[in-house]
Amino acid sequence: MAHLNRRHVLGLGVAALSAVGFRPAMAASEAGSETHGLSVFGDLKYPPDFHHFDYVNVNAPKGGLFSTVPTSRLNNQSFFTFNSLNAFILKGEGACGMELTFATLMVRAGDEPDAMYGQVAKSVQISPDKLTYRFTLRPEARFHDGSKLTAHDAAFSLTVLKEKGHPLVIVQLRDMVKAEALDDATLIVTFAEKRARDVPLYVATMPIFSKAYYATKPFDESTLDIPLGSGPYKVGKFVANRFIEYDRVKDWWGADLPVSRGLFNFDVVRLEFYRDRDVAFEGFTGKNYLYREEFTSRIWATRYDFPAIKDGRVKREVVPDQAPAGAQGWFMNMRRKQFKDPRVREALIYAFDFEWTNKTIMYGAYARTISPFQNSDMVATGQPSPEELKLLEPFRGKVPEEVFGEPFVPPVSDGSGQDRTLLRKASQLLDEAGLVVKDRKRLLPDGDVFRIEFLLDEPSFQPHHAPFLKNLGALGIEATPRLVDAVQFRARVEDFDFDITTERPPIAATPGDSMRPIFSSQAAATKGSYNLAGIADPVIDALLEKILAADSRIELTTACRAFDRVFRAGRYWVPHWYRATHPLAYWDVFDHPKTLPRYQMESYSSSVGERILWWYDAAKATKLEQAK
């Protein structure tokens, strides 16, 4: 399920991805095998009889309240508001956290790059040609009304998502040919030949809806009716646009599964919605919610000095984030005439002074992003290896010659905020592209004034834009910010109705089919996709197929590095920044395992994230009350 973390917008990055050694519990990709789990390359850490994930506290107490603001979103969800409880379609603004209310065939492990193990599915058998997956479902699986969850529900869910789901889901299900139930316990999923390597894993993470529930209701309707779920939580109290609570299902059928022990410990998960980060911060200091991940370096550096911090009632903690940081940046919409020339796009890269912005606005907390695979071994460096050249040579003459040399890296400024050398280079590039200056205004080749509107939905991000806009003005470009509300922002972005906007498309630790909605030509023409730049390049498409067809991690890394060289040569974005940690603050009523899983944020794609590992400490809560 494609998801986007809030840190992706303002730059909390991740630590370097290093090799992980796993004992092969079962080669899940072996032809004809039946297995309790799946992974892209068939390696599983946990054996069939495992009791629980290593990183959980199986004795964690159940109870208490966990409250926060949304930190992750998927599909049609917004960080700032909601007006629908359908989070799997394009219409409306879905409530963050709805994924907690639905069970899935399998769930990811937080300490493996892409492995997953059975939840609704007890096991899966893979055909010799690897095009048919036969899932055996657990007989105890139930919906919240007590009705049995069957393979018929799973087949219905996959089919309706492929036909009527959010465009991001439809794109990633394109290689799923059909899903059908042989009986209540047996689900058969058929895939297309040359299907993407990770599509079966994506299918296994899809929510399972009640076929009977939707027999009388349209699936693709934006609604505040509470859908019938099957997951560890169900919708509780809510007020649209303000807050939503999820109540733990205390007799949940899956509570004692190996993939569930030690998880889902809070009785109530509550998400608060604020339109402004500064207001949200004040809400936290006033204990309107209990947990906060900080995404604004200014606030983290200057405002965590309120009384509850000083007397210890609020704790601060910094934990590592060890998944790829991704391609955060300003994406230029090449569907607009002013961005079609790569020299123009490169000029904008030269106009952004990251060093000044980082030092002055972000307290030196960040490093520069250069690649969509940032902080992983998939980033291209130096001259191409022989293996990379083998992939790239067929495209010589179709891509810039720099692809066969050192990859493009954004320039380093003198930190003054207006580096004359870099601005001269930017001006030279614009001149070469035929954009002349007349009456101090930069003109496009057709004589129109070069204007850029920066679309954003957070006022706290305006200071990051200001120095960039000033430099663009020095080049004769009329650049202005356009702040809109969350609903209008999402509608415009999904309709590709913008010049430049900020985004951070998610990149998995094991890149696969989820890259199509970000980079493919198909996605460029699909409204609601992550391909904001409008990249429609046959070479990019061909290298995507190489990534999807890789048979080993070594082949995958090589293909990603080759792709990285071509992507960076396209100058599709003005790269932003990243940080390899999560700054956390919380009222001292929680506890968590001493060691958190390395792929925590990728594995738990919900607005609660890896906090499903945490628990409420009643003794701490009592002490906090007494300290008032």
DSSP letters, 358-423, are HHHTSTT--EE--STT-SSTTS--SSPPHHHHHHHGGGBTTB-GGGGSSPP-PPP--SSSS-HHHH
Q: State yes or no: pLDDT of 324 exceeds 90.
A: no
Read off the pLDDT of residues 9-25 as tens digits, 9 standing for 90 and up: 443 222 222 333 333 34
Domain 3-15+25-274+580-623 of CATH type 3.40.120.10: no
619: CB partners within 8 A, 6+ apart: none
Confidence (pLDDT) at 123: 97
Query: Cβ(579)–Cβ(555) under 8 Å?
Result: no
Query: Cβ(148)–Cβ(141) under 8 Å?
Result: yes
CA 206 from centre of chain: 15
Q: What is the mean pLDDT of the chain?
A: 90
Read off the pLDDT of residues 510-555 as tens digits, 9 standing for 90 and up: 888 889 999 999 999 998 888 999 999 999 999 999 998 898 899 9
Confidence (pLDDT) at 138: 98
How far is the C-alpha of 501 from the C-alpha of 65, rounded, in Å? 36
Read off the pLDDT of residues 252-290 as tens digits, 9 standing for 90 and up: 999 999 999 999 999 999 999 998 888 999 999 999 999
Residue type, 34: E
Q: What is the 3-state secondary structure (H, E, C) of 446-504?
A: CCCECEEEEEECCHHHHHHHHHHHHHHHHCCCEEEEEECCHHHHHHHHHCCCCCEEEEC
Give the chain's count of helices (H) and strands (E): 19, 28
Query: Cβ(249)–Cβ(234) under 8 Å?
Result: yes
Pairing of strands 291-293, 581-587: antiparallel
Q: State yes or no: pLDDT of 184 exceeds 70.
A: yes
End-to-end CA distance of the chain: 42
Mean pLDDT within 130-141: 96
How far is the C-alpha of 53 from the C-alpha of 262, rounded, in Å? 8
Confidence (pLDDT) at 9: 40
Read off the pLDDT of residues 548-602 as tens digits, 9 standing for 90 and up: 889 889 999 999 999 999 999 999 999 999 887 889 999 999 999 988 887 765 5
Mean pLDDT within 73-97: 92
Domain 329-578 of CATH type 3.10.180.10: no
Q: State yes or no: pLDDT of 421 exceeds 60.
A: yes
Residue among 570, 521, 540 at smallest CA distance from 342: 570
Q: Give the side-chain half-sphere CA count within 13 A for 373.
A: 27
Q: State yes or no: pLDDT of 604 exceeds 80.
A: no
Q: State yes or no: pLDDT of 364 exceeds 70.
A: yes
Domain ranges within the chain, ordered by starting residue: 3-15+25-274+580-623, 329-578
> Do 3-15+25-274+580-623 and 329-578 fold alike per CATH?
no
Confidence (pLDDT) at 607: 56
